[in-house]
Amino acid sequence: MLIGVPKEILPGENRVALIPSFISTLTQAGQEVMVESGAGAGCFYADKAYEEAGASIAPNAEALYSSADIVFKIRPPESAEVEMLREGTTLICLMDAFFRLDLLEQLASQKISGFGLEFVPRISRAQSMDVLSSMAAIAGYRAVIEAAELLPKYFPMLMTSAGTIAPAKVFVIGAGVAGLMAIATAKRLGAVVEAYDTRPVVKEQVESVGAKFVEFDLETAGEDAGGYAKAQSDDFYKKQQEQMKAKVATVDVVITTAAIPGKKSPVLITDDMLQSMQAGSVIIDLAAERGGNTEGAEAGVVVEKHGIKIVGYTDYPSRSAVHASQLFAKNITTFLLNMVKDGEYAIDLEDEIVKGALLVHDGQVVHEMIKPLMEQQGE
């Protein structure tokens, strides 16, 4: 099978789905690799490096898409890219499926098999395929670096001849992969770190990376089977905001990470809460792409309200494109090779990982979470 790796066309996207060091892993498993010219430029991998690793170079996207049996991508393809795919091709990428039903319809109509890497089940056997965790860890790290740059204070405590500098206070909301990495990074920079999560079971993890776990007087719905925090009731969020207000008023940096798969991000920090915060404080809203956890957050930009900077960047993995591409390449290569036996690629619907990530197959949307949405859309 020929694996095609196109150049990402979204403005500002510097990652590439496969780096040269993983090509031999694929060729040794009986696969061929073709890379679009310039695909690795954003993370400093030249065409020559791919050729030396054993890949061929396609001069443009059309040449690649029309030849590939399997396509590795980072971002969901645009309609024009899908049109270049041959019937029967397999597409593997982050599909953003809940919000791209139009894309799934197009893939089905062209009889493309589509895998969404965000749906890889969180089981032990699939840990090395977990793209979401790989990218979330980078986002958590970069969030703290961004906050440190924007905050008009030092992060660490310093004792100088001119007096003692108190450490910055950082509050992390959400202790998933991104939150835990943010905690660890802020702690390494010398901040005093506290964290909150609706899942009490993560308290030990929070404390293990150096933060104090904040507990509010609330009854929570816990986590779902995938380890994500469940959506809560409107009454819960109202009570949470009341108790959150007192906490955010005492800190310099807030990092929010609360996202619910397939839904708009819950608002955790209201305009009223912003007014209670210290002028010059910084909020890094890692949920900004889906509306944000902060009232007034805007995806992709920095907004200033009441003297507080609200950062809504959505491209943190792309800002660390070299390592983000390395991790993504490992995840996607391992995912594919799970379906390769004795050099032959096949979709095994009995495999939990394969079934969990397969969205479109044989001209139909097949994922159990997406099919009802497609049916509702058709009504």
Q: What angle do CA 254, 252, 146 make, to 5 degrees?
A: 60
> What is the structure's pLDDT at 228?
53
Among candidate residues 21, 24, 127, 377, the one labeled active-site is 127
Average pLDDT, the chain: 94
**Ordered domains of the chain (ranges, CATH):** 2-129+321-378 (3.40.50.720), 136-314 (3.40.50.720)
pLDDT at residue 317 tops 70 = yes
Confidence of residue 261 (pLDDT cuts 50, 70, 90): confident
Among candidate residues 31, 50, 113, 130, the one labeled active-site is 130
127 is an active site residue: yes
> What is the structure's pLDDT at 203?
95
Among candidate residues 56, 75, 100, 122, the one labeled active-site is 122
| CA nearest to 136, candidates 172, 90, 91, 99 | 172
Q: How many CB atoms lie within 10 A of CB 104?
A: 25
Rounded Cα–Cα distance for residues 331 and 327 (Å): 6
Crossing angle (nearest 10°) for helices 131-150 and 177-188: 40
Q: What angle do CA 12, 16, 21 make, to 5 degrees?
A: 150
The mean pLDDT of 216-233, rounded to a whole number, is 62
Contact between 290 and 118 under an 8 Å Cβ cutoff? The reply is no
214 alpha-carbon distance from chain centroid:
25
Query: Pick the residue with more confidence: 259 or 257?
Result: 257
Confidence of residue 227 (pLDDT cuts 50, 70, 90): low
> What is the structure's pLDDT at 198?
86
Confidence of residue 243 (pLDDT cuts 50, 70, 90): confident
pLDDT at residue 10 tops 90 = yes
Percent of the chain with pLDDT over 90: 87
Among candidate residues 75, 100, 228, 345, the one labeled active-site is 228
Q: What is the DSSP letter of 32?
A: E
Contact between 69 and 92 under an 8 Å Cβ cutoff? The reply is no
| CA nearest to 173, candidates 301, 275, 297, 74 | 297
345 is an active site residue: no
Confidence of residue 216 (pLDDT cuts 50, 70, 90): confident
Note if the pTM is more than 0.85. Answer: yes
37 is an active site residue: no
Largest distance between two CA atoms of the chain = 72
pLDDT digits (tens, 9 = 90+) for 64-83: 999 999 999 999 999 999 99
Lowest mean pLDDT among 87-91, 104-108, 213-217: 213-217
CA distances from 126 to 168, 352, 353, 361 (A): 38, 10, 7, 21
Crossing angle (nearest 10°) for helices 371-378 and 101-109: 90
> What is the structure's pLDDT at 375?
81
319 is an active site residue: no
252 is an active site residue: no
Strands, sheet with 253-256, edge to edge from the N-terminal-most edge strand: 212-213, 192-196, 169-173, 253-256, 282-285, 308-311, 302-305
Pairing of strands 253-256, 212-213: unpaired
Rounded Cα–Cα distance for residues 250 and 265 (Å): 24
Contact between 265 and 174 under an 8 Å Cβ cutoff? The reply is no
Confidence of residue 30 (pLDDT cuts 50, 70, 90): very high
Pairing of strands 340-341, 308-311: unpaired
Residue written as token pair 């405590």: 157
Rounded Cα–Cα distance for residues 282 and 268 (Å): 15
Among candidate residues 106, 113, 133, 265, the one labeled active-site is 133
> What is the structure's pLDDT at 222?
54
| CA nearest to 236, candidates 244, 248, 227 | 244
Confidence of residue 379 (pLDDT cuts 50, 70, 90): low
Contact between 97 and 119 under an 8 Å Cβ cutoff? The reply is yes
